[in-house]
């Protein structure tokens, strides 16, 4: 059997410099909360990061935009594509709406490129 792999692996845990390569808009499966999903990637791999457009999600999205060098209060998602930033990739476990345990990779600790090039984790 021949295997054809057309996808990069997930980024390993730790600090990475990534570029926003794709942006999708959607709504959460259970609460219908709008979100944008950004694919953040480099030559080594990628991580997808959702940003919920809710009140609790505002500080996280603001931190992401600041790391991209965007300080406006209103931005078109098209402006994010191609921008570069430094992120910390980590695994996070949670319980979904059905009570099932899930683990995902996520990007956190957003920084401008050059400001944080090493991991915050010990």
89-120 pLDDT tens trace: 999 998 887 889 999 999 999 999 987 555 55
User: Distance between alpha carbon 98 and the CA centroid of its chain, in Å?
Assistant: 24
Q: Which residues contact 16 (CB under 8 A, 6 or more apart)?
A: 40, 42, 44, 47, 86, 87, 88, 89
Looking at residue 6, its pLDDT comes to: 83
Q: Tell me the whole-structure pTM to 2 decimals.
A: 0.86
What is the gyration radius of the CA atoms in the chain, in angstroms?
15
Least confident of 19-23, 72-76, 95-99: 95-99
Q: Looking at the domain covering 14-112, what would its CATH class be? A: mainly beta
pLDDT of residue 96: 80
Under the banding of pLDDT at 50, 70 and 90, the label for residue 24 is: very high
Residue 114 pLDDT? 80
Residue 8: its pLDDT value, please? 93
Q: Where are the domains of the chain?
A: 14-112
pLDDT tens, position by position, 25-68: 999 988 899 999 999 999 999 999 999 999 999 999 999 999 99
């Amino acid at each position: 059997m021949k295997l054809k792999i057309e996808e990069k692996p997930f980024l390993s845990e730790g600090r990475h410099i990534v570029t926003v390569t794709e942006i999708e808009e959607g709504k959460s499966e259970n609460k219908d909360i709008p979100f944008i999903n950004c694919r953040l990637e480099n030559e080594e791999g990628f991580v997808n990061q959702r940003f919920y457009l809710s009140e609790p999600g505002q500080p996280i999205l603001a931190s992401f935009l600041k790391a991209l060098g965007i300080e406006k209060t209103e931005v078109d998602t098209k402006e994010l594509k191609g921008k570069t930033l430094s992120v910390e990739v980590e695994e996070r476990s949670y319980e979904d709406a059905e009570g099932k345990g899930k683990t995902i990779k996520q990007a956190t600790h957003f920084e401008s490129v050059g400001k944080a090039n090493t991991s915050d984790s010990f």
